[in-house]
């Protein structure tokens, strides 16, 4: 992963301002950020303890740096401490005044060399991160864009109530090797930039692009402005667009595009997910469709700017309003059959509803649920004090995947900012392909690593075929020690009732391991027992052996991140494991005679 120098955002030039430019060190800064154009930033190496600041102004302008009078075009030495250093620069000329908040971040020593830094899961260079946002693929540049919620201690001049919640940004050509970019969106007078989504406006339905921007690079993102000016509600939906393949972002001049005056759609209106929906009953056979959370609403548009609510709130099969965060809406074939498709409404990755999307007699788009919310996985981690949830959250899928897959990423929640040499909080999951499979009589949403994850495999460090295990047998994985691996196993249970696979194990007994998988044959359950520091508990997803009677398990460890998949995605468990023991062993055992059809372990590399 790579961290670039400046926080980026609205690319507004210095023209017609008292302050016409600022030089920090050797680099001239030429654009303001935020809707009020008051924020700039520049990152420097950990070895830099001071730098020069030169302020360029119109003739006759009086300038002050942190309330101390300075002269324009004169180099001023400023001291830099570790982290963000904020400088308030004010300018005045007769009745006109202006303020710039200059942020210079001094990066920590040893960045990306931390022993705890995951290798093939994305982590921010520093600071806090949460929801993935705006997942979109630019086919012209051949890049996936991952935006994410983040809080960083910069000064923006915006009401402190909004804090610094904005959109971080990273890009990748293969969904594994990510390069972190400057921030894409920062707070403005409408509020903080909370979660949202992205689309490609290929046909320029918004009218925001010209022929200089290739169709596949016409990127538009939607987000919630929260707090700030509440004329249009505490939470309202805004948009931004990029004309340079996502390098800089222009906030739409007439934001918000979904006004929530008097909180008519609820104070929790946020997390807009926008898709293109095709139906011959619609004008032109299609529309843009937005699903929002809190009380879940659908909005439709033909130009991404003017949105119309589509009736009341979305309900489940029993008529109960669906309340969720970070919704997503997509269509998938059942068991790979394109003639049998269902629409899926996901709620933060914690639950989902199966149903149909149609145009009703009133001409409005409506989601008709066929289920109540299906909970993917029991929880072991506090979401809110006393409310348990899985360790992953805010799951979102990519718009415009080139292979036509439904690829998702999730926020892996993290109880610690600082742990050993760790200087960031949270990780993003590896990319998972979503499919619908019939398990028993139930249509089930399954998730399994995208094939790109295999590209992170470095070396096959263990391989075994057609071996028997059972009571009294030695641990076949005794020679394997790793804290960054990808293990895949195919096992025929035979007469075994329980099969145990453990990581972070220091001895022959898997019960002492900090991460243990126990498959109960009679119960068809894969118990995932998590110990170590931080959140502890037991996940209990159902997993059925395949039609061939075999159990398939994939266990991945990436320093502090772990991933478990049963039966090719019927079960998907992901989280963060802080080891107390430092053990790096693996163990496999069964309480009856079982056959290991295949067992392979790969070392991993990534960013």
Q: How many CA atoms lie within 13 A of 120 on its CB side?
A: 28
Torsional class of 597: left (φ above 0), alpha (ψ -120 to 50), beta (otherwise) = alpha
Catalytic residue among 36, 45, 67, 131: 131
Residue 160's φ and ψ, nearest 5 degrees, are: -60, -20
Answer for the pair 370, 443: CB distance below 8 angstroms, yes or no: no
Which are the contacts of 458, defined by CB distance < 8 A and separation ≥ 6? 602, 603, 604, 605
Q: Give the Cα separation of 287 and 300 in Å (integer).
A: 6
Complete DSSP assignment for 570-588: TEEEEEE-B-SS---EEEE
Residue 92, phi then psi, degrees to nearest 5:
-145, 145
Q: Is 131 tagged catalytic?
A: yes
- The span from the CA of 122 to the CA of 606, in Å, is 9
- Please state, in angstroms and rounded to a whole number, the distance separating the CA atoms of residues 22 and 52: 10
3-state secondary structure of 544: coil
Pairing of the two strands 432-439 and 424-425: unpaired
Sheet of 83-93, strand order? 39-44, 96-106, 83-93, 62-65, 68-70
End-to-end CA distance of the chain: 5
**Cβ–Cβ under 8 Å, residues 436 and 445:** yes
**Could you give the dihedral angle defined by the CA atoms of residues 360, 366, 369 and 375, in that order, rounded to the nearest 10 degrees?**
180
Greatest CA separation for the chain: 89
d(CA 393, CA 408): 11
How far is the C-alpha of 151 from the C-alpha of 127, rounded, in Å? 7
User: How distant, in Å, are the alpha carbons of 7, 24, 52, 54 from that of 77?
Assistant: 22, 10, 5, 9
Q: Which residue pairs, CB below 8 angstroms and at least 24 apart, start in 57-64?
A: 57/18, 57/19, 57/20, 57/91, 58/17, 58/18, 58/20, 58/93, 60/93, 61/18, 61/19, 61/91, 61/92, 61/93, 62/91, 62/92, 62/93, 63/19, 63/89, 63/90, 63/91, 64/89, 64/90
**Distances in Å between the alpha carbon of 464 and those of 46, 455, 476, 497, 510?**
47, 21, 8, 22, 20
Contacts of 55 (CB under 8 A, 6+ apart): 19, 21, 22, 63, 65, 70, 72, 73, 89, 91
Cα separations (Å) of 201 from 3, 137, 181, 302, 304? Answer: 28, 12, 22, 11, 9
**CA distances (Å), origin 269, targets 31, 194, 237, 316, 327:** 31, 11, 8, 19, 11
Where does residue 492 rank: exposed (0-12), middle (13-18), buried (19+ CB within 10 A)? Answer: middle
Q: Cα 506–510–514 angle (5° rounding)?
A: 65
551: helix, strand or coil: strand
Residues in the chain, total: 607
Catalytic residues: 131
């Amino acid at each position: 992963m790579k961290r670039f120098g400046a926080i980026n955002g609205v690319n507004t030039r210095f023209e017609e301002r008292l302050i016409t430019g600022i030089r920090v060190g050797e680099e001239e800064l030429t654009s303001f950020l935020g809707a009020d154009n008051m924020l700039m930033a520049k990152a420097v190496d950990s070895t830099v303890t001071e730098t020069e600041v030169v302020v360029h102004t119109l003739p006759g302008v009086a300038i002050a740096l942190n309330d101390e009078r300075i002269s324009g075009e004169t180099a001023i030495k400023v001291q830099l401490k570790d982290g963000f250093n904020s400088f308030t620069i004010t300018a005045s000329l007769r009745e006109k005044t202006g303020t710039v908040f200059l942020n210079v971040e001094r990066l920590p020593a040893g960045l990306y060399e931390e022993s705890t830094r995951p290798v093939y899961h994305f982590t921010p260079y520093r600071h806090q991160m949460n929801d993935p946002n705006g997942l979109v693929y630019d086919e012209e540049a051949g890049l996936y864009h991952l935006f994410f919620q983040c809080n960083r201690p910069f000064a923006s001049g915006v009401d402190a109530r909004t804090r610094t919640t904005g959109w971080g940004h990273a890009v990748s050509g293969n969904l594994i090797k990510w390069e972190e970019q400057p921030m894409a969106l920062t707070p403005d007078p409408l509020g903080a930039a909370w979660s949202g989504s992205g689309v490609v406006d290929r046909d320029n339905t918004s009218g925001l692009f010209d022929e200089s921007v290739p169709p596949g690079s016409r990127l538009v993102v939607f987000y919630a402005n929260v707090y700030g000016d509440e004329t249009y509600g505490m939470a309202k939906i805004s948009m931004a667009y990029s004309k340079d393949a996502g390098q800089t972002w222009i906030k739409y001049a007439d934001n918000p595009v979904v006004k929530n005056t008097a909180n008519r759609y609820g104070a929790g209106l946020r997390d807009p997910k926008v898709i293109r929906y095709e139906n011959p009953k619609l004008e032109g056979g299609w529309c843009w469709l937005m699903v929002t959370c809190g009380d879940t609403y659908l909005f439709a548009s033909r130009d991404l700017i003017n949105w119309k609510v589509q009736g009341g709130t979305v309900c489940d099969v029993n008529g109960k309003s669906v309340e969720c965060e970070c919704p997503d809406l997509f269509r998938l074939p059942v068991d790979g059959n394109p003639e049998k498709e269902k629409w899926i409404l996901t709620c933060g990755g914690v639950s989902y509803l199966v149903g149909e999307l149609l145009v009703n007699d009133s001409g409005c788009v409506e989601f008709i649920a066929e289920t109540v919310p299906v909970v993917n996985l029991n929880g072991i981690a506090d979401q809110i004090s006393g409310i348990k949830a899985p360790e992953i959250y805010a799951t979102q899928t990519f718009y415009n995947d080139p292979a036509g897959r439904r690829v998702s990423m999730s926020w892996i929640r993290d109880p610690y900012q600082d742990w050993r040499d760790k200087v960031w909080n949270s990780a993003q999951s590896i990319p998972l392909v979503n499919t619908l499979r019939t398990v028993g009589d139930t249509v089930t949403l399954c998730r399994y690593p995208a094939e790109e994850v295999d590209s992170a495999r470095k070396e096959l460090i263990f391989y075994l075929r057609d071996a028997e295990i059972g009571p009294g047998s030695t641990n076949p994985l005794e020679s394997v020690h790793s804290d960054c691996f990808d293990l895949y196993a195919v096992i025929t249970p035979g007469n075994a009732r329980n099969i145990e696979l453990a990581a972070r194990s220091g001895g022959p007994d898997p019960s002492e391991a900090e991460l243990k998988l126990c498959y109960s044959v009679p119960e068809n359950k894969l118990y995932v027992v998590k110990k170590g520091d931080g959140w502890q508990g037991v996940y209990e997803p159902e997993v059925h052996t395949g039609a061939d009677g075999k159990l398939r398990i994939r266990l991945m460890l990436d320093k502090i991140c772990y991933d478990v998949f049963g039966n090719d995605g019927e079960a998907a468990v992901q989280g963060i494991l802080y080891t107390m023991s430092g053990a790096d062993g693996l163990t496999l055992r069964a309480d009856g005679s079982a056959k290991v059809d295949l067992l392979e372990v790969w070392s991993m590399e990534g960013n």
